């Protein structure tokens, strides 16, 4: 089994991004990401910190707005509008989940589609669904595509099975794979005979949120395994794919160090695109 090293690929892509940032700065533009964090969720704070650090590492502008958990819907919408109007801000990310009682959909749809670097706006998702990838692409599934490309893993004509149908991973992953002419099956919690379907996959993408969900008997020998899952148990991170799958896979992403580093990298890529 060959490891798909997300850290290595992310570092490589980030070097290219740094050059793009320098080129923009040379013509007086500074790609800037604004992150809005509402409340005190510890996991969200960690994610936001990672995004800030990567933006700074690439020499980009990074702004952070911490709003109290008691913020009203109107206050958050006002903040988004202020950032929409700010010509120095190129990308806006509102960290999810928002505290209970707030309408996430309304907030995400309020973000200017030209600054929607996290790609949650129906306009950008709609374009992707129509096979037009000229807009922003959702960071995690786009990162998966970049990993496969880096390792010269062909997608066209392959049987791809995606486990999970969330708006953030499963559904856009489906579109990206279909746009590359894979034959795509999406399975979820109501799927009958799930293992029968995963066993047919040349490329299996797991985005379930259950540690070790995909076991060896659910995988075709020689399959490429992409593990999107991040599950924290007693302070340690586990993917959705059991370690024993390494015995049968041809390629596999580790957790951590697989898809995770790519997600942040693609967010920076979108912000640079927005600035351009
Ligand atoms: P989600 O919104 O909770 O979706 C999980 C999906 O898995 C749902 O479609 C659900 O089916 C399906 N599922 C749950 N239990 C199942 C079961 N027993 N059998 C079959 N399908 C089942 O999760 P998500 O946001 O897509 O995230 C998935 C995982 O990826 C999480 O571990 C998350 O932390 C991780 N993640 C990682 C990154 C990264 O950067 N690496 C980014 C995003 C997410 P139903 O729709 O039928 O309920």
**What phi, psi does 216 have (nearest 5°)?**
-55, -40
pLDDT band for position 104 (50/70/90)? very high
| Residues 79 and 184 occupy one common structural domain | no
Q: Is 188 domain-assigned?
A: yes
150 and 99 assigned to the same domain:
no
Determine the residue of 208, 218, 237 to mutate for testing ligand 1's pocket, defined as the one with the most ligand atoms within 8 A of the Cβ atom: 208
The rounded distance, in Å, linking the Cα atoms of 136 and 118 is 8
Reference 158, options 199, 198, 203; nearest CA is 203
- The CATH number given to whatever domain includes residue 218 is 3.40.50.720
- Does 20 fall in a domain? no
Co-location of 79 and 146 in the same domain: no
In this structure, are 179 and 90 located in the same domain? no
Q: For the chain, give the percent of residues with pLDDT over 70.
A: 100
- Ligand 1: does its nearest atom lie under 6 Å from the Cβ of 43? no
Do 144 and 232 reside in the same domain of the chain? yes
For 26-81, the pLDDT digits (tens) are 999 999 999 999 999 988 999 999 999 999 999 999 999 999 999 999 999 999 99
Domain CATH for 69? 3.40.50.10860
Positive/negative CA dihedral, 113, 117, 122, 128? positive
- pLDDT bin (cut points 50, 70, 90) of residue 162 is very high
* Closest residue CA from atom 34 of ligand 1: 230
Residue 230 near ligand 1, beta carbon < 6 Å: yes
Q: How many domains does the chain have?
A: 2
Looking at the domain assignment, is residue 216 inside a domain? Answer: yes
My answer on whether 143 and 256 are in the same domain is: yes
What is the pTM (predicted TM-score) of this model? 0.97
Its domain, for residue 92, covers: 28-112
Same domain, 66 and 151: no
CA of 77 to the centre of ligand 1 (A): 28
């Amino acid at each position: 089994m060959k490891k798909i090293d997300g850290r290595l690929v992310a570092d490589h892509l980030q070097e290219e991004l740094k050059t793009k940032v320098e080129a923009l700065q040379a013509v007086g533009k500074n790609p800037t990401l604004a992150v809005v964090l509402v409340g005190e969720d510890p996991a969200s704070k960690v994610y936001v910190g990672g995004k800030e650090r990567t933006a700074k590492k690439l020499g980009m502008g990074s702004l952070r707005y911490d709003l109290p958990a008691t913020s009203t819907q109107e206050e958050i919408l006002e903040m988004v509008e202020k950032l929409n109007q700010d010509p120095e801000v190129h990308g806006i990310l509102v960290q999810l989940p928002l505290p209970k009682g707030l309408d996430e959909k309304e907030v995400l749809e309020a973000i200017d589609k030209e600054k929607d670097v996290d790609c949650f706006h129906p306009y950008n998702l709609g374009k992707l669904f129509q096979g037009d990838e000229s807009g922003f692409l959702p960071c995690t599934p786009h990162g998966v595509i970049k990993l496969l490309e880096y390792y010269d893993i062909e997608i066209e004509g392959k049987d791809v099975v995606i486990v999970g149908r969330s708006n953030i991973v499963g559904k856009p992953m489906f579109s990206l794979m279909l746009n590359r002419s894979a034959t795509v099956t999406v399975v979820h919690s109501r799927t009958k005979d799930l293992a029968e379907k995963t066993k047919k996959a040349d490329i299996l993408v797991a985005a379930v949120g259950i540690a070790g969900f995909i076991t060896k008997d659910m995988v075709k020998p020689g399959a490429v395994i992409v593990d999107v899952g991040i599950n924290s148990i007693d302070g340690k991170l586990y993917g959705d794919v059991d370690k024993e799958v390494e015995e049968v896979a041809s390629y596999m992403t580790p957790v951590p160090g697989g898809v995770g580093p790519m997600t942040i990298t693609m967010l920076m890529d979108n912000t640079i695109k927005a600035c351009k």
